[in-house]
Amino acid sequence: MKPTEFVKVNGQFWGEHLKGVGEHLAGSHRNELPGPLLFPRMMVLTETPDWNILELVGVSREYRSLDVRRRKAASVEEYFGLGDGAAVVALPGENLFKDATVATEVGRRELVDRFPGADKMLGNEFVGPGEQLLQFAPGNYSLFDRVLLVHTVGASIRVHWTFFALAIHRSEPADKYLAFLRNYAQAADHLDPIGTLSVPVGDLDLKGSPFASTYLGHGLPDSTVDRFLQDNESILLSAFDATRLIRRPFLERQEDGDALQPDFILETADGNHIVGDLGLPLLEGKKHHRTTSVQDGAAALARYADYFTSPEHRAFAQTKYGVEISDPRKLLVIGTQDTVSPADVTDAAIEIVDYDSILRLHLAANS
């Protein structure tokens, strides 16, 4: 199937399917659902030399026609995350994962400790040694329907929740692919249609600006770091079980008078701290948007952590912000489209989470 055919088939199927769900289920069966019915915001179609990849991203309280983005990747493994060693799951033939977690052994151990809401998202678990999650082989389909992917490289961890992703080998014809999608949709529970999510969320407001995917900068062109943190404070607090967010702290270096300024510091409920940067295309100045690679973000986080190894610097932070920080966790928030290679984080010991996954952790923490 050529990439142009892949675009056409997905546009036809998902437009009809999600519109029908929005018109029927969200109205007449609303009281039978565990919570509000959530829809994706964007359809991302990725071409590699041998595979076509579909991913539905973003979280929206109401159905809207999906924005469409096309991109390329060097390989299907690069798209889903490279690693070293044996794969946790080999993927020959046809593979279906629904409401599941695929994680390395190290990643699984760290997951719930670092992300308290994740225990409500685990579902069926596929856990194994090594640092590579998936090994693709020529076959029909590999489908990830609400699946949490947890990679580790050394002491670094990468968490990515897939709303709906599907990799299909390019040898598959378009008509068979469309039939596969229709059959999969028809086999789903009537109250749990594919490409949607329904979770009990109490009194959470799901209509605000945070519920738009940051994929490829969607929804971010006019947002500054300060505005982003203001809009998303409650989300960051609940996703990381934190009680306080310090925006743009000014960390003066006693030895030379210069300063460091991470985007935020979170104080967690257990008294620990997370120093974080936003690797997102946010507005800086009137026209410039920041561009932060994973490597640059990891290097900056290392400088912040090193700052707190000094007793003088710890005393400065205590006096200015009322926090006692000695060994903070290091967090980089990235866009859903960003790929992470082992070389980016081998010696970094950081946590990497895309913003759509933070939204999902926030929903889980409040369900």
Region of residue 236 (phi > 0: left; psi between -120 and 50: alpha; otherwise: beta): alpha
Q: 178 with 224, same domain?
A: no
| Structure-block tokens of residue 146 | 């609400």
pLDDT digits (tens, 9 = 90+) for 64-74: 889 898 989 88
Amino acid letter for position 70: R
Confidence of residue 5 (pLDDT cuts 50, 70, 90): very high
**Mean pLDDT score across all residues of the chain:** 87
Give the mean pLDDT of 75-90.
Answer: 80
The whole-number pLDDT of residue 19 equals 92
Structural domain count of the chain: 2
Altogether, the residues listed in the chain come to a count of 367
Q: 240 with 162, same domain?
A: no
Confidence of residue 348 (pLDDT cuts 50, 70, 90): confident
Q: Note whether 1 and 18 are within 8 A (CB).
A: no
Is residue 23 in some structural domain?
Answer: yes
pLDDT digits (tens, 9 = 90+) for 143-196: 999 999 998 888 899 999 999 999 999 989 999 999 999 999 999 998 899 999
The whole-number pLDDT of residue 108 equals 94
Q: 125 with 51, same domain?
A: yes
Q: 172 with 104, same domain?
A: yes
The whole-number pLDDT of residue 210 equals 61
Is residue 345 in some structural domain?
Answer: no
Q: 38 with 82, same domain?
A: yes
Q: 29 with 137, same domain?
A: yes
Q: Note whether 76 and 98 are within 8 A (CB).
A: no
Angle CA 217–223–227, to nearest 5: 135
Is residue 360 in some structural domain?
Answer: no
Q: 57 with 154, same domain?
A: yes
Is residue 351 in some structural domain?
Answer: no
Is residue 221 in some structural domain?
Answer: yes
Most confident of 27-31, 119-123, 222-226: 119-123
End position of a domain, from candidates 140, 172, 198 = 198
The whole-angstrom separation of Cα 302 and Cα 15 is 44
Q: Which domain holds residue 64?
A: 3-198
The whole-angstrom separation of Cα 206 and Cα 344 is 34
Residue listed under structure tokens 């933070």: 358
Q: 42 with 151, same domain?
A: yes
Of 153, 159, 162, nearest to 106 by C-alpha is: 153
The whole-number pLDDT of residue 168 equals 93
The whole-number pLDDT of residue 15 equals 93
Q: 171 with 237, same domain?
A: no
Residue 153: phi, psi to the nearest 5? -135, 110
Q: 68 with 188, same domain?
A: yes
| Structure-block tokens of residue 157 | 């961890």
Among the residue ranges 64-78, 164-178, 231-245, 320-334, the one predicted with the least confidence is 64-78
Q: 112 with 178, same domain?
A: yes
| Structure-block tokens of residue 310 | 């000094």
Is the pLDDT at 28 greater than 60? The verdict is: yes
Is the pLDDT at 361 greater than 70? The verdict is: yes
Q: 163 with 277, same domain?
A: no
The whole-number pLDDT of residue 220 equals 63
DSSP 175-199: HHHHHHHHHHHHHS-TTS-TT-EE-
Of 331, 307, 333, 334, nearest to 321 by C-alpha is: 307
